[in-house]
A = this chain, B = another copy of it.
Amino acid sequence: MPIPLTFEIHHKSKENAARTGTVTTPRGSFKTPAFMPVGTRATVKGLTPQQVRSTGSEIILNNAYHLALRPGDEQIAKLGGVHKFMRWNRPILTDSGGYQAWSMADINKLDEDGVTFKSIIDGSMIRITPERSIEIQNNLGADIIMAFDDCPSSVAPQTQNLARRRHALTSRDGVLTEDAHEKRLLESLDRTARWLERCASTHAKPDEQALFGIVQGGTNLDLRARSVEQVCSVALPGYAIGGVAVGESPDAISNVVKYTAKLLPEEKPRYLMGVGYERDLLAAVTSGVDMFDCVLPTRNGRNAHAFTRKGQLHLRNARFKDDEAVLEEGCTCTTCASGFSRAYLRHLYASKEMLSGILVSMHNIHHFQSLMVDIRAAIRDDSWSLLIQRWPVLQEGQKLTQTHTAQEPV
């Protein structure tokens, strides 16, 4: 049986758990640590595949949930798969739809077999089971596919986001206590473990698509250890850390990732889902994480926020009115290399012109890819202080806000 994914480790840091490597899939390789831009509906918002490629991206993420609703996974299969559909001939990863079913749907109901929720498109009831999620992802044909997991909240009920609180309320007629929350997490972990086995056994293309398992467990390290044991008992080409960056503090994220990553098999790629800001990425890399995805560069690009090595620029600010400088001096992204000024970008945002989000999304993705290039160099040479010197945003004291999950808004 052909192997759908190989992972070669090139360098290991002497100072921490970071490593560089190459993941090879049937559609080509990508260097790790890797950052994947998010292309929810088979398009990285506003960018052609060529423009995405120009940012240095080697792999992108699509959302199984959104594509199953529209145009439909069978439809995409009929059209030759998602690579051909969107004209991106490099690696693609699809998430399982579990997180989306929970966080986006108005009504959702969990049972032992799966999740039932209302379609955001036509209000019809949709059911996703582990089997259906893998069927969707088999139909889409991404190179890496994700297990369908139960997505419990990783934070205590009082700090949960709205969707989580709503679920707690609908399932228990009241806010959960801490103990009840732990109990539910435990049930959820065991369910995720049972679902993973169903995902693995239903996977129709194990020689073409690499299935990754997802470790859950919230911020409770004992539960994380239990989840690692359960998930890694199924031999898979890679493993992910899920349920992170859904409302915790940066320190909590960092602790969970540091603790969990080292428990995962060293020879397999480790993927931290939906994270995050620059410092989150660095912390995770030094804990041994190899893959990341996040909507920040594109979402913030559309919202007039440009990333720079010194922090974000808010381009609607009047101070950019006369600013002839490019977003970041010396930046080699298409936007900066073409010479578009902050003043022009501010004008485009003020005029609600599409080109604003396009140009700044390109710059922002390139920003994250440049960070990964420099992180890989730091790992190779153990030149961490040089990295932090070149990226002031990585220094302590820089403000960090909440990260976001792996989907673009409607």
Interface residues of A (CB under 8 A from B): 41-43, 45-50, 66, 70-71, 75, 78-80, 85-87, 321-322, 324, 334, 338-341, 343-344, 346-348, 350-355, 357-359, 410
> Can you identify 8 A-B contacts, CB atoms within 8 angstroms?
A41-B353, A43-B353, A46-B354, A48-B338, A75-B343, A79-B341, A87-B338, A87-B339
Q: Which of B46, B70, B334, B341 contacts A350 (CB 8 A)?
A: B70
> Chain B residues near A66 (CB, 8 Å)?
351
| Pairwise interchain contact B350-A79, C-beta atoms closer than 8 A | no
| Pairwise interchain contact A355-B45, C-beta atoms closer than 8 A | yes
| Pairwise interchain contact A48-B351, C-beta atoms closer than 8 A | no
User: Nearest 5 pairs between A and B by C-beta?
Assistant: A46-B354, A43-B355, A71-B347, A41-B351, A43-B353
> Chain B residues near A42 (CB, 8 Å)?
344, 347
**Count of identical protomers in the assembly:** 2
Cα–Cα, bound, A41→B352 (Å): 10
**How far does the Cβ of A363 sit from chain B's closest Cβ, in whole Å?**
12
**How far does the Cβ of A343 sit from chain B's closest Cβ, in whole Å?**
6
**Which of A46, A49, A352, A359 has the largest number of chain B CB atoms within 10 A?**
A46
| Pairwise interchain contact B48-A358, C-beta atoms closer than 8 A | yes
Closest to A51 in B: B48
| Pairwise interchain contact B347-A70, C-beta atoms closer than 8 A | yes
> Chain B residues near A351 (CB, 8 Å)?
41, 43, 66, 70
Other than the known A66-B351, A71-B347, A87-B344, what 18 A-B pairs have Cβ atoms closer than 8 Å?
Answer: A41-B347, A41-B348, A41-B353, A48-B334, A49-B338, A70-B350, A70-B351, A71-B346, A78-B322, A79-B324, A79-B343, A79-B344, A85-B344, A87-B339, A352-B410, A354-B354, A354-B358, A358-B358
> Chain B residues near A50 (CB, 8 Å)?
334, 338
Cα–Cα, bound, A75→B50 (Å): 33
> Chain B residues near A347 (CB, 8 Å)?
41-42, 70-71, 85
| Pairwise interchain contact B45-A354, C-beta atoms closer than 8 A | yes
> Chain B residues near A339 (CB, 8 Å)?
87
Closest to A341 in B: B79
> Chain B residues near A46 (CB, 8 Å)?
46, 354-355, 358
> Chain B residues near A324 (CB, 8 Å)?
79-80
**How far does the Cβ of A298 sit from chain B's closest Cβ, in whole Å?**
11
> Chain B residues near A49 (CB, 8 Å)?
338
| Pairwise interchain contact A355-B79, C-beta atoms closer than 8 A | no
